Amino acid sequence: MHDSNEAQPGMIPDIAVAIVRELGAIVGPAGIVTEKDRLAPHLEEPRGLYHSKASLMVMPATTDEAAAVIRLCHHHRIGVVPQGGNTGLVGGATIQSSADAPQILLSASRLTKVRELDARNYTVTAEAGCILADLQRLAQDAGRLFPLSLAAEGSCQLGGNLSTNAGGTNVLRFGNARDLVLGLEVVLPDGRVLDALRGLRKNNTGYDLKHLFIGSEGTLGFITAATLKLFPQPRGVATALVAVNDPEAAVALYDQARSSLGDELVAFELLSRRALELALASQDESRDPLGEPYAWYVLMELASARDHQATESVIESFMHECLEAGVVHNGVVAQSETQREHLWQLRHRVSEAQGKLGASIKHDISVPVSKIAAFIQQADARVREMIPGCRVVAFGHLGDGNIHFNISQPEQLSAEAFLDQWTVINREVHAIAVDLGGSFSAEHGIGILKLDELKHFGQGVELELMKTVKAALDPAGIMNPGKLPGG
Ligand SMILES: Cc1cc2nc3c(=O)[nH]c(=O)nc-3n(C[C@H](O)[C@H](O)[C@H](O)COP(=O)(O)OP(=O)(O)OC[C@H]3O[C@@H](n4cnc5c(N)ncnc54)[C@H](O)[C@@H]3O)c2cc1C
């Protein structure tokens, strides 16, 4: 820390010692982190693509403290980069290295109170630092379901989930994070608090402001709490892994599953053989679940108010119908919770397991479900043409039209030479998705990683409105500077 805010050439200016003292007076010693070893895990995002140069992380324990911190930062024009569990995949919770004003990390990790669980209203009001898996357990203990579920749920936080409008594996039935929010509490960029923590399913009283903050990646305010929808805890859950010929067959199966199973179908995930092999290789128990290899797989799950056995028999008879019709070639229904977890682990491990193939270039695109097969076919052909020998690992939330189209380096090419193509490959794959009526960022957001893509693919009026909203709420530009256009 310096005694002045003067910028050093090529460095982000530090926070003046006097301001650190003022911040310390607001949050107390437990709320100030300056030690290198404690800061380290908060400075790098999960894939190591971005590193913050922050020398200070502030951790308020109450909304009032968060408001006082932001008011002070606003006064001194210090940038505030909100951080939750730091599991985001686009660098949104890191400080941009090109920043030309001092910035702090503002962590929600001490905002962990569950303020109210109203089981009869099917709502829970929780603070932003609550870990997603803890919220799921809390709801379960109350006989309710909080359906947001993703592989990072053991460490990502509610505030991060809402700021990125997280998706995950249950979007098909319950929607994205946005669809699960009834009320929100947010500290605005000038330190005022928007208290819209209402547990109402009907409330038509003007602009629904909470939606501005959901999915805006911390650029418009710091979320401190939310009132969330809960659902009845399903009595029966049944999970099956089935083999199909190709993505086209998977889409046909999805169509059939929706018609036959209705809203009981909660998850429908696609995996290529390569994706499954990678996941199997990363597990202790690496037995192929279907005994022999198939080209593509679907992991589907049913959740119902019927008991477990009845739910299982519904998925089994659906699977048999599909086997007889030749839509599915083989399949297995999990016979125990352990087997069910095992199947889900296969799905959840793909991304990390891909590291075994060396460097990778990743895409998180969405297209209309009806265009998934066309996307995979076109993108696969294009990337093989551009980088002969590259290995495509395609998997994702087929029911949401969201495919993680990842490419691993060819064995003969160095990681550096492969990664040099990152931007060009991204642009090509994103263009294919956009041409098919899709999006270049389905669930991970924009952050730093996709800012250029937003500028390239974003539509004029949309981008202008984003800048207008940003300027109206944060004219000093202190919230998560450098992220999203105008930010
Ligand atoms: C293994 C793995 C699997 C994943 N799977 C999925 C998936 O299936 N679906 C999906 O959508 N995402 C997925 N992600 C991405 C990530 O987990 C989610 O985006 C998650 O919701 C981020 O939460 P977080 O608490 O870690 O937020 P962070 O990474 O800390 O922050 C993410 C963004 O939110 C902002 N932010 C954080 N907290 C606040 C707050 N309180 N107020 C305002 N802004 C805030 C940050 O500034 C940043 O821009 C996955 C990530 C990993 C590592």
Q: What is the DSSP string of 281-316?
A: HTSSS---TTSS--SEEEEEEEEESS-HHHHHHHHH
Place of tokens 């969201």: 402
In the chain, which stretches have pLDDT less than 70?
1-13, 97-99, 285, 485-487
Cα–Cα separations (whole angstroms), residue 108 to 48, 190, 252, 434, 471: 21, 18, 43, 35, 24
The tokens 């679940």 sit on which residue? 289
What is this structure's pTM?
A: 0.93
Instruction: Name the nearest CA neighbour of 109 among 7, 30, 168, 25.
Output: 30
Q: Is 84 in the pocket of ligand 1 (CB under 6 A)?
A: yes
Distance CA 111, CA 325 (A): 53
Dist CA 40 CA 20 (whole Å): 19
Q: Work out which ligand 1 atom sits closest to the CA atom of 45.
A: 29
Measured in Å, residue 76 CA sits from the centre of ligand 1 at 28
The whole-number pLDDT of residue 5 equals: 39
Q: Is the CB–ligand 1 distance for residue 152 below 6 Å? A: yes
- Does ligand 1 lie within 6 Å of residue 401's CB atom? no
pLDDT at 487: 56
- Residue 462 has φ and ψ, to the nearest 5°, of -60, -50
Does the Cβ of 227 fall within 6 Å of ligand 1? Answer: no
**How far does the centroid of ligand 1 lie from the alpha carbon of residue 329, in Å?**
37
Do the beta carbons of residue 57 and residue 132 sit within 8 Å?
no
Nearest CA to ligand 1 atom 15: 88
For 162-190, b/e burial (b = at least 16 CB within 10 A) is: bbbbbbbbbbbbbbbbeebbbbbbbbbbb
Q: Domains plus CATH for the chain? A: 17-110 (3.30.43.10), 114-232 (3.30.465.10), 236-354 (3.30.70.2190), 358-445 (3.30.70.2740)
Nearest-CA neighbor of 105 among 23, 21, 215, 46?
23
Ligand 1 close to Cβ of residue 156 (< 6 A)? yes
149 lines ligand 1 (CB under 6 A): no
d(CA 382, CA 366): 17
Task: Count CA within 13 A, CB hemisphere, residue 300.
Answer: 32
SS3 (DSSP) at 116: strand
C-alpha to C-alpha distance for 443 and 440, rounded to whole angstroms: 9
Distance of CA 432 from the midpoint of ligand 1 (Å): 26
Q: In this structure, what token pair is assigned to residue 457? A: 């693919």
Can you state the angle between helices 372-386 and 422-435, rounded to 10 degrees?
A: 150
Q: What is the CA radius of gyration of the chain?
A: 23
Give the pLDDT of residue 8: 44
Place of tokens 């087997």: 339
Q: How far is the CA of 108 from the centre of ligand 1 (A)?
A: 12
The pLDDT of residue 206 = 94
E strand intervals along 90-153? 103-107, 114-118, 123-127, 144-145
Give the Cβ contact number of residue 389 at 10 Å: 11
Distance CA 315, CA 265 (A): 10
**Ligand 1 atom with minimal separation from the 480 CA:** 47
CA distance 391 to 351: 14
443 lines ligand 1 (CB under 6 A): yes
391 pairs with which residues across the strands?
A: 408
Q: Tell how far the Cα of 410 is from the centroid of ligand 1, in angstroms.
A: 30
Dihedral class, residue 37 (left if φ above 0, else alpha if ψ from -120 to 50, else beta): alpha
Query: Residue 41, Cβ neighbours under 10 Å: how many?
Result: 8
Distance between CA 317 and CA 248 in Å, rounded? 22
Q: For ligand 1, what atom is nearest to the CA of residue 157? A: 25
What is the residue-wise DSSP string for 221-277?
A: -EEEEEEEE-EEPPSEEEEEEEEESSHHHHHHHHHHHHHHHGGGEEEEEEEEHHHHH
* Structure confidence by residue, pLDDT tens digits, 226-257: 999 999 999 999 999 999 999 999 999 999 99
Question: Using a 6 Å cutoff on CB, does residue 129 contact ligand 1?
Answer: no
CA of 161 to the centre of ligand 1 (A): 5
CB distance 218 to ligand 1 below 6 Å: yes
Residue with tokens 């691993």: 408
> What angle is formed at CA 235 by the lines to CA 231 and CA 237, rounded to 5 degrees?
95
How far does residue 151's CA lie from ligand 1's centre (Å)? 11
Taking the CA of residue 186 as reference, the ligand 1 atom at the shortest distance is 42
Distance 85 CA to ligand 1 centre (A): 7
Task: Tell me how many degrees the CA angle 157-159-163 measures, rounded to the nearest 5.
Answer: 120
The DSSP call for residue 410 is: P
